[in-house]
Amino acid sequence: YFFEPFDGTKVPDRWVYSKADPRAGMFTVSNGLFHADPWVNRGLQTFQDARFYQISAPLDQEARSGNQTFVVQFSVKHEQNIDCGGGYLKILPPDIDPEKLDGETPFNIMFGPDICGDKRLHIILRGEDGGVPNSRNQLSPFVDQLTHLYTLVLRPDMTYSVWMDLEEQLTGPIDKHWKGLVLPEHIPDPEAKKPEDWVDEKDMDDPEDVKPEDWKDIPSLIPDPEASQPKDWDEKEDGEWTAPMVPNPEMDDKTKEGGGSGEWKPRRIPNPEYKGSWVAPKIRNPDYQEGGSLDYTHGHVALDLWQVKSGTIFDNILITDDEDFA
């Protein structure tokens, strides 16, 4: 579906810069400061510090995952001894506008190293509900200045593998390693309604509790009788002035006399009719697929990342359905 070796002297024409950020960084094709072969080791390199980088290329043909194996593979060389910056790829759906690519552009897959304080290998998949959860399994990427190969394999049986320099680091069931990626088999019935006679108040007023005859119905707070409107108060700008509220001293006196005072409220007791919080009954999810599915349609490969210190070289970007070939 796609292979890019960057074996020319300039950025290939099929790569389209986004116009979303006029200050976004530019790429060059370079073999870097050190290499084994000056032509074979050429790649797409960032060369402007403290910039966002946003560029994408269309796949040779649309690719599908879900019903067939899908493989993303590419190499990354952080020869600048990176301290804060991304080195990951995004796989985008076909209907995006490459000239509007930015951090809000929806993607199907985001895979690759990200180093900025934390050092992690992102493995982010768009869920069936549109969310983009990261893998629960955390891998640390290489942080040296050498070239390293990263490979992600998604299979139709809902298993996956991650390889680093052709050594398998992770493998297993996708729905167990990504929280919220696959739609649940059962969901709350959207048409169910709480019965009108359902009681979900845990406590209630005691119907046998009555206000004492000597209870004094006086407010617990009163306007401060000693307060006065400030001289610089402007009612047009500040509104009508009101005195601040202070504790009612009469309330304390009445309390000392033995009777209660303030706003009377009956005591609270457990509600004998309490049934608990109402929960809608579950029904089978009409969108549920047995075993789950990552049925994405892919149309573009993109670099959409931030780097404080530039110099990263991306090379040999491969999108295929042939795991053995990768």
Q: What is the mean pLDDT of residues 137-143?
A: 83
pLDDT band at 290 (very low <50, low <70, confident <90, very high): low
Q: How far apart are CA 126 and CA 57, in angstroms?
A: 20
Structure confidence by residue, pLDDT tens digits, 93-137: 999 999 999 999 999 999 999 998 788 999 998 876 556 656 666
282 assigned to some structural domain: no
Average pLDDT, the chain: 88
Between 250 and 313, the more confident residue is 313
pTM greater than 0.95 (yes/no): no
Question: How far separated are the first and last CA of the chain, in Å rounded?
Answer: 12
pLDDT at residue 296 is higher than 80: yes
Q: How far apart are CA 278 and CA 274, in angstroms?
A: 11
- The pLDDT of residue 65 is 87
244 within domain boundaries: no
Per-residue pLDDT at 132: 64
| Helix, strand, coil share (%) of the chain residues, nearest 5 | 5, 35, 55
Please answer whether residues 57 and 14 qualify as being in contact, where contact means their C-beta atoms are separated by less than 8 angstroms.
Answer: yes
Q: Is the pLDDT higher at 182 or at 321?
A: 321
pLDDT computed for residue 181 by the predictor:
72
pLDDT of residue 322: 93
Segment 180-198 mean pLDDT: 86
Q: Residue 66: its pLDDT value, please?
A: 80
Residue 284 lies in a domain: no
pLDDT in tens, 220-245: 788 999 999 998 888 888 889 999 99
What pLDDT does 109 receive?
Answer: 94
Question: What number is the average pLDDT over the span 51-76?
Answer: 94
Share of the chain above pLDDT 70, in %: 91
Residues 6+ apart with CB under 8 A from 113: 76, 78, 86, 87, 88, 119, 120, 121, 122, 141, 142, 150
**Which CATH number characterizes residue 43's domain?**
2.60.120.200
Q: Helix (H, G, I), strand (E, B), or coil: what is residue 39?
A: coil
pLDDT exceeds 90 at position 47: yes
**DSSP assignment, residue 133?**
P
Residue 98 lies in a domain: yes
Residue 258 banded pLDDT, cuts 50, 70, 90: very low
Tens of pLDDT along 15-24?
999 999 999 9
What single DSSP character describes residue 134?
Answer: B
Give the pLDDT score at 215.
75
**Residue 107 within any structural domain of the chain:** yes
Task: Give the pLDDT confidence score for residue 90 in this predicted structure.
Answer: 97
More confident: 273 or 137:
273
Residues 6+ apart with CB under 8 A from 257: none
The verdict on residue 124 lying in a domain is yes
Structure tokens at 275: 């049934």
| pLDDT for 130 | 59
* CB-count burial class (<10 Å; 0-12, 13-18, 19+) for 47: middle
Q: What range does the domain containing 144 cover?
A: 2-186+292-320
- Burial class, 215, CB count within 10 angstroms (exposed 0-12 / middle 13-18 / buried 19+): middle
By residue count, the chain amounts to 326
Name the pLDDT band for 158 (thresholds 50, 70, 90).
confident
Domain presence at residue 20: yes
The torsion region of residue 213 among left (phi > 0), alpha (psi -120 to 50) and beta comes to alpha
**What backbone phi and psi angles, to 5 degrees, belong to 175?**
-70, -15
How many Cβ atoms sit within 10 Å of the Cβ of residue 64? 15
| pLDDT at residue 180, as a whole number | 66
The answer to whether position 144 is within a domain reads yes
pLDDT of residue 291 exceeding 60, the answer is: no
Of 64, 68, 80, the residue nearest 298 (C-alpha): 64
Would you state the pLDDT for residue 43? Answer: 95
Taking the C-alpha atoms of residue 152 and residue 43, their distance in angstroms, rounded to an integer, is: 20
CA distance 215 to 213: 6
3-state secondary structure of 236: helix
Q: Which residues contact 38 (CB under 8 A, 6 or more apart)?
A: 31
Q: Are 114 and 88 in contact (CB under 8 A)?
A: yes
Number of structural domains in the chain = 1
Contact (Cβ atoms closer than 8 angstroms) between residue 154 and residue 65: yes
